[in-house]
Amino acid sequence: MQIHLSENFTYNKLLRFVMPSVMMMVFTSLYGIVDGLFVSNFVGKTAFASINFIMPFLMILGTIGFMIGTGGSATIAKTLGEGCKDKANRHFSMLIYTTIITGIVFTIIGIIFIEPIARLLGADGQMLGDCVEYGTIILCALTFFMLQNVFQSFLVTAEKPHLGLYVTVAAGVTNMILDYILIVPLKMGVAGAAVATAISQAVGGLVPLIYFAGKNNTSLLRLTKATADFKTLAKVCTNGSSELMTNISMSLVNMIYNFQLMRFEGKDGIAAFGVIMYVNWIFVSIFIGYSIGSAPIVGYNYGAKNTGELKNIFKKSIVILFSAGIALTVISIAFARPLAGIFIGYDNALLNLTEHGLKLFSLAFTLCGFNIYGSAFFTALNNGFISAVISFMRTFVFQAAVVIILPIFFKTDGIWFSLIVSEMLAFIVAAALVFIKNKDYNYM
């Protein structure tokens, strides 16, 4: 049965509502790492290191989609809660058209600058060629990637989270099948991995676009004519700035990680970090999916001034996230070696390095769920500033500082320990802001 934003949520109902978003994000992470899986096992560890080396730059260009999706979802959910459906549709349409235009512009910029950026980051020789080849092909589908990220949030707000899951699965299956065909029998190397990903992103971006514009659309939202509303667009960008900051910061910090690991471990360090980040993406995507899935509920009840349900959602979310964090930490440590072995089981020294790093990295799962949700929760309350503060401190200030400082004393172990240290510092900031702002929103 369809669950509506206006309902009273039990644990069972809340988990049922957010589960499609969680599965959608997990599956997105899974098919996002398929490139690495095939490239590592069938092309080699240098090519594997290359795609992980250039990925932060590609992610920075795609972050506008995350910003518009999360910021716009919060604004539109609040508008729907206020009973203004026509206004919500106009704003929704404007945001989709804005995403398309921005995607085209960023594609052109990315293709022009990808080679000098790769050189600046330190790529040379075969790694440079692989970075440019992979990145150029991926950038051709950047607009679809941005639309896919936008629709992941809007499909939940439109009360169609299951459609978002189906689209993600379809895109993922497309990527997996094409990865095998293009890399294994056709031996296209990194180009094959890039083509497979680009086509899958086209599936993920185009299918929801057609649905929202079509006659069979039965959701709360519909693509219509839109007029430029720069005040609303500015509000959306401000409100989604935390997600923008999160993704840009993560990409910049990953570049610092790559730089440090290249100093201490060479290309093996880059490859090990790539594997660790793949596992990290899968597990962290659970928290991100929960935050995306529950945000429209928070936004709707905030717009409807239903503080009782705000308290209910907040309390249940904290219990769920801390329980999940402990479970994921235990799983990650227990299965560190087999998880790493999926990617680099052919190199025992690299496998040992990756297993050790993954065990230390995994300690952060106990706290990062609360930190991720804290930022998303304030975005849903249309408080982009507080959300951005939490996000910026967590994903950039603390991580950048510790990954630069700790290796001075602990070398490679300092790099692996940096995430748990930064999450501890972010937890202090997030918890303090949650308690301070309660007087304004009354969610505790």
Q: Could you tell me how many helices (H) and strands (E) the chain has, helices first?
A: 17, 0
pLDDT digits (tens, 9 = 90+) for 19-67: 888 988 887 777 767 778 888 888 888 888 888 788 888 888 888 888 8
pTM of the model: 0.74
pLDDT band at 140 (very low <50, low <70, confident <90, very high): very high
Long-range (24+ apart) CB contacts under 8 A made by 439-442 are 441/302, 441/307, 441/310, 441/381, 442/307, 442/310, 442/311
Burial classification of residue 290, based on how many CB atoms lie within 10 Å of its CB (0-12 exposed, 13-18 middle, 19 or more buried): buried
User: Residue 233 in contact with residue 95, Cβ under 8 Å?
Assistant: yes
Query: Alpha carbon 424 to chain centroid distance?
Result: 21
**What gap in Å lies between CA 215 and CA 210, rounded to an integer?**
10
Which has more confidence, 325 or 274? 325
- In the predicted model, what is the mean pLDDT of residues 416-433? 94
Residue 267 to residues 219, 261, 271, 432, 434, Cα–Cα distance (Å): 48, 8, 6, 40, 41
pLDDT band at 343 (very low <50, low <70, confident <90, very high): confident
Q: Is the pLDDT of residue 121 over 80?
A: no
**pLDDT value of position 1:** 56
Query: Alpha carbon 175 to chain centroid distance?
Result: 18
**What gap in Å lies between CA 354 and CA 357, rounded to an integer?**
5
Rg (CA), the chain: 21
Phi, psi of 384 (to 5 degrees): -65, -30
Quote the mean pLDDT of the chain.
88
Percentage with pLDDT > 90 across the chain = 41
**pLDDT value of position 234:** 85
Helix or strand or coil: residue 428? helix
pLDDT digits (tens, 9 = 90+) for 270-316: 888 888 888 888 899 999 999 988 988 898 888 888 889 999 999 99
pLDDT band at 184 (very low <50, low <70, confident <90, very high): very high
Q: Is the pLDDT of residue 142 over 70?
A: yes
pLDDT band at 196 (very low <50, low <70, confident <90, very high): very high
Q: Is the pLDDT of residue 106 over 80?
A: yes
pLDDT digits (tens, 9 = 90+) for 345-380: 888 888 999 999 999 989 999 999 999 999 989 988
Helix or strand or coil: residue 178? helix
Which has more confidence, 28 or 150? 150
Least confident residue range of 106-110, 147-151, 157-161 = 157-161
* Of 382, 316, 407, 340, nearest in space to 79 by CA: 382
Least confident residue range of 113-117, 240-244, 266-270 = 240-244
Dmax over Cα atoms in the chain, in whole Å? 62
**What gap in Å lies between CA 226 and CA 228, rounded to an integer?**
7
**pLDDT value of position 242:** 66
Please report where in the chains the tokens 């496998």 appear, as a residue. Answer: 351
